[in-house]
Amino acid sequence: MTQDQSKQPTPKATQAQSSTPLLPPSVTWVMIGVLMVLLCPLTLLLQLPEKLAAMLAPDINILRPWVLSLLWLLPAIAIFLQQARRARMLRLHQFASEHTLHSLLRHYSPGRIVLKGWLLGSAVAFFLIAWSGPQWGTRVRLLQRKGIDVIVAIDVSESMLARDITSATGGRKQRRLDLARRKVRYLMEALAGERIGIIAFSGKPVTLCPLTIDYNTCAVWLEDFDPRLIPYSGTALATSIKHAIPMFATSGMNSRALFLITDGDDHEKNTIQAAKDAKKQGIRIYTLGLGSTEEVTISPQDLPPPPPGQAPDPRPIVTRLNEKLLRDISSETGATYRHAEISQRDIRQLFEHATQTLEARTQKSRRQIFREERFPIFLGLGLLFFLVDISLRERRS
C-alpha cells in the first residue's frame, strides 16, 4: 500500500461524518432567514402603508428605538453558535468511531437542541422589546397640586449692586443682587406644588410672572434681574407690597406668603401701613435682608449707564441694610425675618415656616394624557420562554 493510499479516509469514517446529528447548512440558513423575518424591528412595520400599519401596529410609540436595532444581532449570534457546534462535532469524529459517538450521543436529541436555541433567542428578543419601552393606548389622569401661594418681590435698585456680601471662596466680595438670584433659584427648587409669582421693584414695582406652577417660565427671569430692568430710581417697599396684594386674588385667605428680598433701603414712609393692609388680606410677609448694617459706598463707575438722553449722576450711592424696618414688616404680619447668609439655610427656614403655618390649598386640577406602558407583556413572554428553555433538557429521558 502506498503512502497516498494510506491517507485516504475509510468508508466507515466517511459514513461517520455524514451521519453527524446536525442539521445541514442549507437548513440552518433557512432557519436564520426565518428568524430574521420574525424579529424584524417594529420601526420597519411603521413604514408600511398607512392602512396596513394601522392594522398591525396601531398607535405604537417606542421610547428607546435604538434598542430594537440590537435584534439584528440575534441571527448573527445564532449563525456563530451553530457553526461553532458543527466544527466541534467534526473534531470529535476525528478522535472517535461512529459506534463510540453513537453510544455517547444516543441520549441527545438534535431537535431539542434546536428548540432550546429558538426558545433562548425568543426570550432575548422579548427582553429587548420590553427594554425598548413599547407604548400604545392612552389613559387620562387628573393631576392635582396642593400647596401655598408664594410671591417673591426682589429689590433690583442700584443699592443692590453694593459689594458687601462675603463670597463662598473668601475672595472678592459679591453683589447683593447676585446673592438674591441664588436665593430665589433655591426657593424655586424647593417648591413642590406651590404656585409662585415674581415681582421686581426699585422706584416702581413690575410683575414679571403671575402666580403659576410653571416654574421654568419664572426661572427665565432670574438672569434678567438688573437695575436697568426698571427705569425708576429708588426703593419703593410700600408700593411693592400694595402691588402684590391683588395678585393673591385667586388664593385662599390662609395660604398667602410674600417673600421680600431686599436691603431695606426704603424711600417711602408708609411701609408699615402697607404691611398692615397686607395682613388684613391674610398675607404674611417674610423678609430676607441682604448686605451689611454698616454704610457702603457705591462709586458711579460701578453703576449701570443711564438711559439714552440722560446724563450720568456723578454722585456716589451710600447704602446700608435696614434690619429694623424688615423685622417690623415681618412681625406685623406674623411672619419672620432672616439675615441673608452664604448658605441657603436662611431662605429654607423662611419657606419651612411658611409651609408649616399657612394652609396648603389644592390648586386647580388639570387633565393629562399618558400613554400606556406595555413592556410587562413582553417581559412576561421573555421570562416564560426563558423558564421553558431552562426546564427543557437536551438529553432524552
327-362 pLDDT, tens per residue?
999 999 999 999 998 888 999 999 999 999 998 876
More confident residue, 109 or 257: 257
Cα distances from 161 to residues 40, 164, 179, 288, in angstroms, run: 64, 9, 10, 16
pLDDT value for 238: 92
d(CA 88, CA 82) in angstroms, rounded, equals 10
- The stretch 174-194 carries a mean pLDDT of 87
pLDDT value for 11: 45
pLDDT band at 49 (very low <50, low <70, confident <90, very high): very low
pTM of the model: 0.57
Per-residue pLDDT tens digits for 241-282:
999 999 998 888 888 999 999 988 887 889 999 999 999 999
d(CA 255, CA 281) in angstroms, rounded, equals 11
Residue ranges and CATH numbers for the domains of the chain are: 12-141+372-391 (no CATH), 146-362 (3.40.50.410)
pLDDT value for 339: 93
More confident residue, 376 or 224: 376
Instruction: Tell me 169's DSSP state.
Output: T
d(CA 129, CA 39) in angstroms, rounded, equals 10
- The stretch 26-43 carries a mean pLDDT of 56
Residue 6, all three cell numbers: 494510506
Is 233 in a helix, a strand, or coil?
Answer: coil
The contacts of residue 299 (CB under 8 Å, 6+ apart) are 316
d(CA 196, CA 219) in angstroms, rounded, equals 11
The contacts of residue 182 (CB under 8 Å, 6+ apart) are 344
More confident residue, 193 or 305: 193
Where does residue 318 fall: left (phi above 0), alpha (psi -120 to 50 degrees), or beta otherwise? beta
Dihedral over alpha carbons 218, 223, 228, 233 (to 10 degrees): 70
User: Does residue 80 carry a pLDDT above 80?
Assistant: no
CB 284 within 8 Å of CB 259: no
Cα distances from 328 to residues 152, 181, 240, 273, 357, in angstroms, run: 18, 24, 16, 11, 19
pLDDT band at 4 (very low <50, low <70, confident <90, very high): very low
Question: Average pLDDT, whole number, for the chain?
Answer: 78
More confident residue, 313 or 61: 61
pLDDT value for 119: 85
Name residue, grid cell 433655591.
186
Per-residue pLDDT tens digits for 129-153:
888 888 877 776 666 667 889 999 9
pLDDT band at 316 (very low <50, low <70, confident <90, very high): confident
Is 364 in a helix, a strand, or coil?
Answer: coil
- The stretch 60-67 carries a mean pLDDT of 81
Backbone angles phi, psi at 196, to 5 degrees: -135, 145
Dihedral over alpha carbons 388, 389, 391, 396 (to 10 degrees): 120
- The stretch 206-227 carries a mean pLDDT of 80
d(CA 234, CA 316) in angstroms, rounded, equals 14
Range of 188-192, 225-229, 368-372 with top mean pLDDT: 188-192
pLDDT value for 250: 85
d(CA 255, CA 147) in angstroms, rounded, equals 8
More confident residue, 101 or 173: 173
- The stretch 66-82 carries a mean pLDDT of 79
pLDDT value for 35: 56
**How would you classify the pairing of strands 283-289 and 337-339?**
parallel
